[in-house]
Amino acid sequence: MKPAKLHCWFLGCFSVALCCCCASDKFTQSDNHPHTWKKLYLAHHWPVTVCKMSANDCQDPPEYWTIHGLWPDKTEECNRTWHFNVTEIKDLMSDMRRYWPDVLHSSLNRTQFWKHEWEKHGTCAATLQVLNSQKKYFGKALELYQHVDLNSCLLKAGIKPSSSYYQMTAIKEALTRFYGVMPKIQCLPPEEGEKAQTIGQIEFCFTKELQLRNCTALKGENEPVQADLKLGTEELSVCSDTLPTYYPSQVQDHK
C-alpha cells in the first residue's frame, strides 16, 4: 500500500480538528506546566542515509521516506511511569511496520524503536488531548505522515534518489512551494575527500492545533530540544545551502 495521494496545494491550509471527546488524561497542559511545549516536529528520515551512518548491516532499507518520530519541542520523558504497551497499537501494526520501521534493526524486535519514541516523546505529546494515548499518538503521527505525503511531493518536483547532486536551495524552494512553510532539512556532512552533503532527515512542524507552520523559532520561543539523529560518530546537522546535496538511491551508490 502506497502513501495516500494528496494534492500538495491543500497543505498550505491543512489542519486537523482536535478531538473533543472526554478522556482520562495523564496530565493536562497549561502555560506554567513543566512540560509545556510550543510545536510538534514530524520527522521523516531517509533510510538509505540512516544505513550509511551506521556500522550495522542494514538489509534492503526502504527507498521511501519513513517516520523517525513525532516530537514536541523542549520536552523529553515527561512521564516515566507510562510504559509502552504494543497491544494498544495492534490495530495500527500494518502501517507501523511499513511507514515507521526500525531501519537499523529490521530483523530484531522492532517494537523497541516505538517504545523509545513513546517514552521519550509520546509521553510529552500526550499533554494534548488528541495525542493523550498510545493509539492516538501513533495513529495521529501516521495520519500526519499520510497528509504530508513527502514522497509524492518530492517526485512531483522532479527530486528523486540519484547519483547526481542537487542544490539545497532548489530542494527548499520546491518544499516551500508545495507546503507553504519551511521545514527543517538535515544532512550528513561530507566525509573527508567528498564534496557533497547527504540528505538524511526532513522535519515538518505543526502547531498545537496540528496546522503546518514554519520550523524556525518565533519571537519568544525557545529552540527545540535536540532530537536529531546520531549514530556512532556520524551526526546529522542542518544542511548547508552552498554545498551540493546527494540524495542516495542505494547505500553504496555514491560517486
What CATH number is given to the structural domain containing 189? 3.90.730.10
Q: Is residue 252 located within the same domain as residue 188?
A: yes
**Domain extent for 182:** 158-255
In a domain, 38, yes or no: no
Mark which of 99, 114, 148 sits at the end of a domain. 148
Among residues 68, 119, 147, 203, which one is catalytic? Answer: 68
Q: What is the average pLDDT value for the chain, to the nearest integer?
A: 83
Q: Is residue 167 located within the same domain as residue 203?
A: yes
Q: Is residue 170 located within the same domain as residue 227?
A: yes
Q: What is the pLDDT of residues 123-151, one digit of tens each?
A: 999 999 999 999 999 999 999 999 999 99
Q: 169 or 253: whose pLDDT is higher?
A: 169
Number of domains in the chain: 2
Q: Is residue 132 located within the same domain as residue 71?
A: yes
Distance CA 195, CA 18 (A): 46
Q: Is residue 144 located within the same domain as residue 172?
A: no
Mark which of 148, 176, 200 sits at the end of a domain. 148
In order of 65, 154, 177, 183, 186, the CA distances from 170 in angstroms are: 19, 11, 11, 14, 15
Q: What is the pLDDT of residues 72-94, one digit of tens each?
A: 997 889 999 999 999 999 999 99
Question: Does residue 13 surpass a pLDDT of 50?
Answer: no
Q: What is the pTM of this model?
A: 0.82
Question: Does residue 241 surpass a pLDDT of 50?
Answer: yes
pLDDT of residue 236: 93
Among residues 35, 44, 45, 121, which one is catalytic? Answer: 121
Q: Is residue 186 located within the same domain as residue 234?
A: yes
Q: Dump strand ranges (E) for the chain.
A: 40-45, 66-72, 165-167, 184-188, 197-206, 212-213, 230-231, 234-235, 237-238, 244-246
In a domain, 5, yes or no: no
Question: Does residue 30 surpass a pLDDT of 60?
Answer: no
CB-based burial of residue 248 (10 Å sphere; 0-12 exposed, 13-18 middle, 19+ buried)?
Answer: buried
Q: Is residue 127 located within the same domain as residue 172?
A: no
Distance CA 105, CA 227 (A): 19
Mark which of 128, 148, 168 sits at the end of a domain. 148
Q: Is residue 195 located within the same domain as residue 126?
A: no
Q: Is residue 171 located within the same domain as residue 138?
A: no
- Is residue 223 part of the annotated active site? The answer reads no
Question: Does residue 245 surpass a pLDDT of 70?
Answer: yes
Q: Is residue 163 located within the same domain as residue 255?
A: yes
pLDDT of residue 108: 60
- Is residue 117 part of the annotated active site? The answer reads yes
Q: Is the CB of residue 161 less than 8 Å from the CB of residue 249?
A: yes
pLDDT of residue 36: 82
If pLDDT is split at 50, 70 and 90, which confidence band does 161 have? Answer: very high
Question: Does residue 26 surpass a pLDDT of 80?
Answer: no
Question: Does residue 168 surpass a pLDDT of 70?
Answer: yes
Among residues 35, 44, 45, 117, which one is catalytic? Answer: 117
Q: Is the CB of residue 49 less than 8 Å from the CB of residue 70?
A: no
Q: Is residue 163 located within the same domain as residue 254?
A: yes
In a domain, 9, yes or no: no
In a domain, 12, yes or no: no
Least confidently predicted of 25-29, 173-177, 201-205? 25-29
